[in-house]
Amino acid sequence: MAIVYIVVLGVLAMVIRRRTERPARGGTGWALVGVVAGGIVLPVVVITALAIVSVRSLADLTRAEAAGLTVDVVGQQYWWEFHYREADGESLITANELHLPVGRRVQIRLHSTDVIHSFWVPALQGKLDLVPGKVNVTWLRADRAGTYHGQCAEYCGIQHALMRMVVVAQEPSDFAQWLAAQRQPAVVGTDERARRAEQLFLVHCASCHRVRGTSASFGTLGPDLTHVASRSTLAAGTFPNVKESLAGWIADPQAFKPGNLMPRVALPAEERQAVVDYVNGLR
């Protein structure tokens, strides 16, 4: 592009100089040839070639391949839900933190439950929209272990900028261990205080949030919290997953992320702390 730009400026400078040095004359046959060749023929040839290359590249990006792993990504205001498809037809559900095995091409199926979102992990893949009522398919492949950051790239509401995700690429053995741990039900305490905290969670949180392996295993409106304490961030990348942030989020989620769909639940300080301890123990 730099070469083309310099050439065009050079030709323009030459034309201006010639027009300055001698009076303008009527058009010639060569001038007409130049206009047709440079203004019509050349652009048609170049654009056609670029179109062919672009279409072939897009076909390579989206062509069907045998998928060793398929993940359904569900976009919701303003967080991400991930369904890892299992061989038995069931799916393992987690949220906001996507784990991938290094060196494997992972099929990503994109859904939306509300408005148009866009799935974008810049270091791994171009962006693709999540459209309500439609399934779009893309692929991710990480060649190096590490943590990558993703973002909703389509304006979806007041907290669009805080609809983030973390993508963790792991060596295949580490990914297998993570997957096995995620399949396990939640481990909760059995003493009196733990049972009290679980009951508070059941009353105030379980209508929206699921914790597999407990009596609170039915909520589907909010993120699955079965192993939430093992994730690196809270509220779709809004802040680090530490106990202090969790306490503030439970106390008043609208103060951290105005417009999100989690309501403020008024709890006495002691009961709120019990819920914080309960959720912080879900690893």
- Strand locations in the chain (E): 70-76, 79-85, 91-95, 97-101, 106-112, 117-121, 125-130, 136-140, 146-152, 164-170, 233-234, 239-240
Q: Please check whether residues 84 and 144 belong to one and the same domain.
A: yes
Domain of residue 228, residue span: 192-280
For residue range 110-155, list pLDDT tens digits in order: 999 999 999 999 999 999 999 999 999 999 999 999 999 999 999 9
CATH number at residue 77: 2.60.40.420
Average pLDDT score over residue span 90-104: 93
In a domain, residue 206? The reply is: yes
Single residue among 160, 183, 206 that ends a domain in this structure: 183
d(CA 1, CA 54): 17
Q: Please check whether residues 109 and 149 belong to one and the same domain.
A: yes
Q: For the chain, what percent of residues have pLDDT higher than 70? A: 94
| CB distance 32 to 68 below 8 Å | no
| CB distance 126 to 221 below 8 Å | no
Q: Please check whether residues 242 and 197 belong to one and the same domain.
A: yes
In a domain, residue 209? The reply is: yes
| CB distance 75 to 117 below 8 Å | yes
pLDDT reported for residue 32: 76
Tell which wins on pLDDT, 107 or 28. 107
| CB distance 200 to 214 below 8 Å | no
- Strand locations in 173-278 (E): 233-234, 239-240
d(CA 61, CA 244): 42
Q: Please check whether residues 122 and 196 belong to one and the same domain.
A: no
Q: Please check whether residues 148 and 197 belong to one and the same domain.
A: no
First to last CA, the chain: 52
Lowest mean pLDDT among 59-63, 138-142, 234-238, 249-253: 59-63
- Strand locations in 42-122 (E): 70-76, 79-85, 91-95, 97-101, 106-112, 117-121
Long-range contacts of 119-127 (CB under 8 A, 24+ apart): 119/73, 119/75, 119/150, 119/152, 119/153, 120/150, 120/151, 120/152, 120/153, 121/148, 121/149, 121/150, 121/165, 121/167, 122/149, 122/150, 122/151, 123/148, 123/149, 124/148, 124/167, 126/61, 127/153, 127/154
Q: Please check whether residues 172 and 223 belong to one and the same domain.
A: no
pLDDT confidence bin for 29, thresholds 50/70/90: confident
Q: Please check whether residues 176 and 196 belong to one and the same domain.
A: no
Average pLDDT score over residue span 214-242: 94
Single residue among 183, 204, 227 that ends a domain in this structure: 183
Q: Please check whether residues 212 and 244 belong to one and the same domain.
A: yes
Number of folded domains in the chain? 2
Per the listing, tokens 């699921």 go with 210
- Sorted by sequence, the CB contacts under 8 Å of residue 160 that are 6+ apart come out as 78, 152, 154
pLDDT reported for residue 101: 96
In a domain, residue 33? The reply is: no
For residue range 50-81, list pLDDT tens digits in order: 999 999 888 776 665 565 799 999 999 999 99
Q: Please check whether residues 155 and 206 belong to one and the same domain.
A: no
Q: Please check whether residues 221 and 177 belong to one and the same domain.
A: no
Q: What is the DSSP track for 160-183? A: GGG-EEEEEEE-HHHHHHHHHHHH
Single residue among 166, 183, 200 that ends a domain in this structure: 183
Among 279, 266, 171, 273, which residue's Cα sits nearest to residue 231?
279
Three-state SS at 64:
coil
d(CA 115, CA 134): 11
In a domain, residue 41? The reply is: no
